[in-house]
Amino acid sequence: MTLPENAYHDRLGDYFAQLAGASPYNAHTDRPATLALAGDVAGRHVLDLGCGAGHYTADLLDRGARVTAVDGSATLLRHARDRVGDRAELRRHDLDTPLDFAADATYDGAVCALVYHHVTARAQLLAELRRVLRPGGWLVLSTTHPTAEWLHHGGSNFDDAWVDARLPDPSLTIRYQRLTLEALLGEWLAAGFTLDRLVEPRPLPQLRDVDEARYEKLSQEPSFLAVRLLTSAR
């Protein structure tokens, strides 16, 4: 089986599963902001797309949601299973292919956290999300902030290159595409979604006690962009 390029496999998956649990970026910045945008999910059927090691899935379950969690990495799905047991439906699926496991109008909402910039077939993915969401449904999506990418890589703010970024472990890299704010909003609106809210997540105050330097950095420089998008109540 060909491994999807948009997922974290093997040692990279294990590394990410350990990192995401308590990292300043994931646990203290993106995850709380993303879940806040999801709002009250009690009794709702939520699709966690690119679920990784199941951290968002676990929180959604704890808030009373019924969750279908999807990822292209068998490694990360093993971590997700260890985290949530049989409380959620877990599926392995390449996000660059149609969501053929889901019928039309299946889910009340969807969460797509920090995976969008890894996907090549983004227009197809958005169209599929529109299809599987119920009328009046919502999509909460987070991705890397274009300003953060420009500050890190330099050069042109309008560069849309695919990059292979090295992690603190220099033997590991992640591949993703730099996307401008114009491109991101253009893709979401062209897919037929309506923008409900847009936030630039700040770290939780508790991070100051854990890593004051990282707290100050994340409080002054954007790292992520998160949106709540709505479908029409057709």
> Whole domain around residue 158: which residue ranges?
10-230
In a domain, 2, yes or no: no
pTM, 2 dp? 0.94
- The 10 Å Cβ neighbour count of residue 98 is 15
**Quick check: 215 and 188 in contact, CB under 8 A?**
no
In a domain, 155, yes or no: yes
Bridge-based pairing of strands 66-71 and 162-166 is unpaired
In a domain, 218, yes or no: yes
In a domain, 124, yes or no: yes
CATH number, domain with residue 212: 3.40.50.150
pLDDT at 2: 63
Taking alpha carbons only, the member of 8, 45, 6, 60 closest to residue 167 is: 8
In a domain, 1, yes or no: no
Residues 122 and 14: their CA atoms lie apart, in Å, by: 26
In a domain, 5, yes or no: no
In a domain, 140, yes or no: yes
How many domains is the chain built from?
1
- pLDDT mean by block of 10 residues, the chain; 234 residues: 68 84 92 97 98 97 98 95 97 97 98 96 98 97 95 90 86 91 97 97 95 94 96 74
In a domain, 208, yes or no: yes
